[in-house]
A and B are shown apart, each in its own frame.
Chain A
């Protein structure tokens, strides 16, 4: 009887530790400090909504938007940047990923160097690369394509080398035990098992690049962002809104195709 009541009692709630309080306090202080620094102000939400500048976004001048020169030529340039840099970035990423995976790396030195370099490249945001290359090799789509190639290489090797890490090591062992040298062993033992995810990740990188190539023009690296930047300087927000609607309609369609392809692959 006594035992029964004891078992039906609630278990004792674990007491929060002093360390948890300390972490919470530090985070709270940091948050308040950061909020002050970015001039956090909830009343601005109201000001934002009642700002008269919103009227400048409307009506959309569709006859300006639907012209070859203003929208479609830069948009095609954007797509070309995305396609070229996806192809280049992912092609280079294939050997680098195998060098970066502990399973398939030829030796420790290559592993260490490729991993370090790629981590450093990835630490630089994509538009920083664009701005750097625009300064170095000139304004235009050429610099944009290079910068996106570098960035997609860095992201792709990160994703794909981790897939290679997790690949089944047994085929590789079998190939090695039959006397294969390093490259043929990797080619026959690992490559076929990870190739579907390679293609799927490439499509994912393509989606990233499509989005990124839209904004490249804001720093002078070609594509449709250049038109946005120009119109922004003229305060023609109605034109920008029209452009954005067209751009994101097209980006959305491309993405849906890519997503459905990826679903079939993996």
Chain B
């Protein structure tokens, strides 16, 4: 009898957690929704018209006028965007690599580390487009303004990522070079660089993917590349041509993304495709700054 009542107690459901505080958490969200919607001058008629307007434009975009934009030289414009991204990434990579060594807390003293870190943060805070807005009056319209803007912005992000991967290294090799009488520079060259180079170079490629999109956008304000083409076609309301530009840009972006992703996978994982998923996930958590 005693044992029976015990079993019946142990098979009872645990008490459900209290849910009253959920409303307390939900409240700020409702306030945020209402507050943010008030600023977007939404009227019911606008809300109802929007899908119809979007559909009307979408219908005019089919079929895309590939021939027309090809004759206008849109292909060259798209490749100009890719060139801007490439050179911008190289500028960012070359400048950020030495700076990252000065910013990592395990290899650099505090007096040099904190100003370099602040520099990375300051650069990262300003988007490429804002940099281009400032640079265009100085350098003039064109691809070079976009290249410098992308190069400068890449220094910030690439520097931060490289610095974080330097901080994650195994410090044994640095100690080994020290024990052989190596100076700081040789410690970095033989102790750190071989460890971090695969990760850092895959970050460079990842940044290149981002920069291709960024340089396409930079054209919209006149900093070279395909953006200007899209803006002018849309302003003339020449929707078949605009959709052709859009589709060509998407094709190039997706092609570069998949090539670059394949190369990155090869760099990080090596030729044998062993543990795949965890590494990519690791890279993503790293790149987004969310660490478990």
Contact = CB atoms under 8 A, between A and B. Distances in A.
A100 interface: no
B33 interface: yes
A138 B42 CA distance: 12
Contact of A38 (B29, B144, B288, B290): B144
Interface string B27-63: 0010011011111111000100110011011000000
Given A38-B147, A219-B220, A244 B42 contact: no
Interface string A176-213: 00000000000000000000010011001000000110
B248 to A, nearest CB: 11
B29 A87 contact: yes
Interface stretch (A13-21, A60-68, A107-115, A124-132): A124-132
Nearest to A85: B36
Nearest to A207: B289
Contacts of A204: 288-290
A39 B130 CA distance: 21
Nearest to B136: A232
Contact of B36 (A80, A214, A240, A252): A80
A159 B280 CA distance: 11
Interface stretch (B107-115, B161-169, B229-237): B229-237
A123 interface: yes
Nearest to B218: A127
Given A44-B144, A84-B36, A125-B214, A132 B50 contact: no
A131 B138 contact: no
A38 to B, nearest CB: 4
A125 B216 contact: yes
Contacts of A35: 87
Contact of B80 (A37, A200, A262): A37
Given A142-B42, A142-B46, A128 B217 contact: yes
B57 to A, nearest CB: 4
Contacts of B249: 123-124, 128
Given A39-B144, A166-B277, A136 B125 contact: no
B139 interface: yes
A76 interface: yes
A248 B127 CA distance: 10
A266 B292 CA distance: 6
Interface string B66-83: 000000000000011011
Interface in B242-292: 242, 246, 249-250, 253-254, 257, 277-278, 280-281, 284, 288-292
22 contacts: A34-B87, A48-B135, A56-B137, A76-B39, A87-B29, A87-B32, A120-B254, A123-B253, A124-B250, A125-B213, A128-B249, A131-B231, A132-B57, A132-B242, A132-B246, A135-B237, A137-B46, A159-B284, A163-B281, A222-B40, A240-B133, A248-B125
Given A87-B32, A262-B289, 20 more contacts: A31-B87, A34-B82, A35-B87, A38-B144, A38-B224, A40-B144, A80-B36, A84-B40, A125-B214, A125-B216, A125-B253, A127-B227, A133-B54, A137-B50, A142-B40, A145-B40, A214-B130, A215-B127, A219-B220, A244-B130
Interface of A: 30-31, 33-35, 37-41, 44, 47-48, 51, 53-54, 56-57, 76-77, 79-81, 83-84, 87, 119-120, 123-128, 131-133, 135-138, 140-142, 145-146, 159, 162-163, 165-166, 197, 200-201, 204, 211-212, 214-215, 218-219, 222, 228, 232, 235, 237, 240-241, 244, 248, 251-252, 255, 259, 262, 266
Query: Which 8 A-B pairs have CB atoms at the shortest separation, nearest pair first?
Result: A80-B39, A34-B83, A84-B36, A83-B36, A38-B143, A80-B36, A125-B213, A123-B250
